[in-house]
Structure 1
């Protein structure tokens, strides 16, 4: 076990945070992350090691402010400024109740205690599982974890440079020991976003590990 890893998955103070393993982020989806579906077997194996698992699910209304279709003359991946700051515009994705918003059918973590839906507010994007993009509105996840005595989170899923990274940064800011299991994530890498994310994560004290280190 690496010296930086002071919590085992089986420790009741640890939780696995599985980010947005949904069809719209899989190959063929509206906002596909390359090879995102290949993570499912590894996340299933990791999930079996943890007694505490939380799953997040992007869950947007049809007119969500992050959709390029909500802004006349704009295209997906344009950047605009909203009242809460810069916003990348996305293709319509993970619309509430659609197939694309569903969790991958092969995701097998039936013992997960919580499925947290985010991005439900039509006027605010929400990459993070902890704090929405206005950096004020809380999802309640930090309180849930702390009430259960959890002080450490391991983050996996999609996409590494957006929802995974923002969730890990906010977990760290909320006082949690935080690891990203790098080989259990995939990135979009939009205009250098992956390199930026890793630099921000390291600066914040988020530790990068690989899945093998959990059993080494």
Structure 2
């Protein structure tokens, strides 16, 4: 099924950074496999609006297992009344692992949204931080940027499919955008989550598609 892209569509590339690649601090399953396809999609300039998110943590971030004595990576704790996965130290500000992947030509980007900069709050979604005062999740400014340019639908790809990509697509729908996930240009932390991710996406009205199905209006 082809998807005809209008001028009201935007591409959001989530956290394609070396720390999420094989050999990186928080490697996703075959994370490097999406790099050539994303580079090709950007070079095609098929989207009028293109953004990237960048995980950008200070040292000692609350989501790091190393910030919690006696805890280990991938353990869950209660944080602000919600489950928090503890991660290996990753995407630390100013380190090579936090840079946008160097094998991609990022020149078509309109903007980069950095997230996870608050040392006390994790940020999976490109749209909002995970927690905030009185249950209100602080905005990254992405939704406003899109609305100012008349964007009505978003296509999301990147890493990781079961965490930051998923949360970004979910928030897009909650904030009033039509959302699609480019399955071939995303990878999970672990394949074990893929069935649940597909079910969640379809239940929430998020279309699963592939880059080869995109066509310009």
Q: TM-score range by the shorter chain?
A: over 0.9
| 2:173 alignment counterpart | 172
| 2:37 alignment counterpart | 42
| 1:22 alignment counterpart | 17
Deviation per residue, 1:193-216 (Å, 9 max, x gap)? 332222221111100012221149
With a CA cutoff of 8 Å and minimum separation of 6, indicate the structure with the bigger relative contact order: 2
* Deviation of the 1:33 alpha carbon: 1.1
Matched residue pairs, number?
Answer: 210
TM-score of the two chains, using structure 2 as the length reference = 0.92
Q: Aligned match of 2:90 in 73, 84, 93?
A: 93
| 1:137 alignment counterpart | 138
* Deviation of the 1:83 alpha carbon: 0.8
* Deviation of the 1:19 alpha carbon: 0.5
TM-score of the two chains, using structure 1 as the length reference = 0.92
Q: Aligned match of 1:117 in 110, 114, 117?
A: 114
| 2:198 alignment counterpart | 198
| 2:7 alignment counterpart | 12
Distance in 1 (CA, whole Å) between partners of 2:157 and 2:81 is 27
Distance in 1 (CA, whole Å) between partners of 2:22 and 2:85 is 21
Larger mean CA deviation between 162-171 and 133-142 belongs to: 133-142
| 2:213 alignment counterpart | 213
Distance in 1 (CA, whole Å) between partners of 2:190 and 2:29 is 10
Distance in 1 (CA, whole Å) between partners of 2:103 and 2:156 is 19
Distance in 2 (CA, whole Å) between partners of 1:84 and 1:13 is 38
**Aligned to 2:60, what secondary structure does the other structure show?**
coil
Give yes or no for contact 1:182–1:210 (8 Å, CA) kept in 2: yes
1:25-104 residue pairs with structure 2 within 5 A?
25-47=20-42, 48=44, 49-104=46-101
| 1:146 alignment counterpart | 147
Distance in 1 (CA, whole Å) between partners of 2:142 and 2:210 is 24
Structure 1, unaligned runs of 5 or more: none
Structure 2, unaligned runs of 5 or more: none
Distance in 1 (CA, whole Å) between partners of 2:48 and 2:104 is 16
